[in-house]
Structure 1
Amino acid sequence: MTDAAEADEAALGRTVGERIRAARRSRRLSMVELAARAEISQPFLSKVERGITTPSLHTLYRLGSALGVMPSELMPQPEPAAVTVVRAAAGAAVTAVDDPGSPTGRLLRGGEGSRIELFDYRVDAHRNVDEWFEYTGEAALVLLSGRLDVEVEERGTWSLEERDVLFLRGRFRTRWTATGTEQASVLLFSAQ
Structure 2
Amino acid sequence: MTTELTRVIDEQALRIGERIRALRRASELTLIQLAERTELSHSFLSQLERGHARPSMVSLERIARALGTSQVELLAAGDPHQHDPDDPRPDIMRAPEGARGPFSQGEARLLVHGASAFAFEPMEWVGANTDPGPYYEHQEDEFVYVLSGRVLLDLQREGISELAPGDSAYYRGGTQHRWCSADGAEFRMIVVKQAPSGVGTRG
TM-score > 0.5, shorter chain as reference: yes
Q: Which amino acid aligns with 2:174?
A: R
User: Superposed, which structure 2 residues align to 1:83-122 within 5 Å?
Assistant: 83-97=90-104, 102-109=105-112, 113-122=117-126
1:156 matches 2:159: yes
Instruction: Say if 1:27 and 1:182 are closer, same or farther in 2 by CA, change over 3 A.
Output: closer
Name the larger-Rg structure.
2
Q: d(CA) in 2 for partners of 1:134 and 1:24?
A: 15
Q: d(CA) in 1 for partners of 2:122 and 2:163?
A: 19
Instruction: Determine if contact 1:15/1:51 at 8 Å carries over to the other structure.
Output: no
What corresponds to 1:142 in structure 2? 145
Q: Which amino acid aligns with 2:94?
A: R
What corresponds to 1:62 in structure 2? 66
Deviates more, 1:131-140 or 1:18-27: 18-27
Q: Which amino acid aligns with 2:122?
A: L
TM-score scaled by length of structure 1: 0.71
Instruction: Say if 1:84 and 1:16 are closer, same or farther in 2 by CA, change over 3 A.
Output: same
Deviates more, 1:88-97 or 1:141-150: 88-97
1:130 matches 2:133: yes
What corresponds to 1:68 in structure 2? none
Q: d(CA) in 1 for partners of 2:190 and 2:27?
A: 32
Q: d(CA) in 1 for partners of 2:121 and 2:145?
A: 13
Structure in which a larger fraction of residues adopt strand? 1
Task: Give structure 2 stretches of 5+ with no counterpart.
Answer: 1-9, 196-203
Q: d(CA) in 2 for partners of 1:174 and 1:27?
A: 19
Question: Percent identical across equivalent pairs?
Answer: 21
TM-score scaled by length of structure 2: 0.68
1:31 matches 2:31: yes
Deviates more, 1:162-171 or 1:107-116: 107-116
Instruction: Determine if contact 1:120/1:187 at 8 Å carries over to the other structure.
Output: yes
What corresponds to 2:18 in structure 1? 18
Aligned-residue offset at 1:133: 1.4
1:78 matches 2:107: no
Q: d(CA) in 2 for partners of 1:179 and 1:20?
A: 34
What corresponds to 1:5 in structure 2? none
What corresponds to 1:7 in structure 2? none
Matched pairs, number: 169
- SS of corresponding position for 2:138: strand
